[in-house]
A = this chain, B = another copy of it.
Amino acid sequence: MHPQAPRQLVILTEGQFGPHSGKTAFGVIRYGRDEVVAVLDSTLAGRNVAEWIPGRDIPIVGTLGEALAVPGRPRPDTLLVGIAPTGGRLPDAWRPILHGALDAGLELHSGLHTLLEDDPELSAAAAIDGTRIVDYRRPPERFETAVGRRHGAGKRVILTVGTDCAIGKMSVALELRNAGRAAGDSVAFVPTGQTGMMIDGWGVAVDRVVSDFLNGTVEWLVEEGERLGDWVIVEGQGSLDHPAYSAVTLGLIHGATPHAMILVHRAGLAAHDFDHLPDRSFPIAPLGPFIDLHEQVAGLVAPSRVVGVAVNTSRCRDDTEARRAVAAIAAETGLPAADPVRFGAAAFWEQVKAGVEALPWVGGGR
């Protein structure tokens, strides 16, 4: 998917606004290039995104009509579906809202597994209304297995991995990209999920790719990323120990063959956010052995090292507790640690860079 011009968005979250099931909305609001005119969520009508994300003055409205006429804001040109539910299906209750948006001439942007453009009713409505549907999760028409490509000379590839899904692998990659650019480095972000694509305007939702071509698609995406910068930060997905998503994670590790990895961890999280079976739980892995295992598994194809731990401290009550949590993880792992979302990524970026440059396999193509 190729870059596109910034848009004016209304983000639909209907009953699911929040950092977890609404993580697409949060990501686009925090990091996107598009202007967010309003959030559409009748369960929170009258409130403001700033209550959740300080500094983001975006009204939450209860109807599409209100979203189309927010005082002092432009009329939106796009309705973006702002949830990422497990399995990625379209809730039936949202259909009337989507039809209303199309009838108002808005584009419909979605990252659901349910490809809205393939829905006969919605695509017919888009045609009649003279607008279009953009499915970020539509896989590329490219069916190639990995070939074992070497990285370009002088390129450094970093992949974010994690101890769970939905804990900030994309946010950490974006914070590092931003910090690197602020420091004058040539840094590219490689989006591998629908939210990252909505934010950066290109990429592939790799979890939608046919399994046989997963490693190969990631390999190709990284090649594209190398055209965009010398430091290539690849958005990770899932976790190597996740019962449902581990295959996607390994496809990223072996497809990207990163020189280095950054482990993203949520302080205080004891078990995977995976609640399908009430009588089961899957604990979060202990950091030290889990880091070793990532390096061993990555090393089956190309050597790689975890050079830092990005700590999600959103469960900490305040900055003091957050700093304590970060320090504890630095001590536990012997690695640079930081919460780049809460405290900024400038210093962490310098640590990561130094860690990567010190690796014996960095320098010269491999």
Contact = CB atoms under 8 A, between A and B. Distances in A.
Contacts of A149: 277
Interface string A217-253: 0000000000000000000000011111111101100
Interface residues of A, number: 47
Contacts of A300: 240-241, 246, 285, 293
Interface in A278-310: 280, 282, 285, 293, 296-297, 300-301
A353 interface: no
A333 interface: no
Interface stretch (A23-31, A36-44, A83-91, A175-183): A83-91
Contacts of A206: 211
State the oligomeric state as a number of copies: 2
A249 B146 CA distance: 15
Contact of A246 (B150, B242, B250): B250
Interface in A108-123: 113
A86 to B, nearest CB: 6
User: What DSSP secondary structure best describes chain A's contact surface?
Assistant: loop
A146 B243 contact: yes
A2 interface: no
Contact of A113 (B212, B242, B250, B301): B212
A207 B86 CA distance: 21
Given A89-B143, A243-B254, A148 B210 contact: no
19 contacts: A87-B145, A88-B143, A146-B244, A147-B243, A147-B276, A147-B277, A148-B276, A206-B211, A210-B210, A211-B211, A211-B214, A211-B247, A214-B247, A240-B297, A240-B300, A241-B301, A242-B254, A293-B296, A297-B297
Interface of A: 86-89, 113, 143-150, 206-212, 214-216, 240-248, 250-251, 254-255, 274, 276-277, 280, 282, 285, 293, 296-297, 300-301
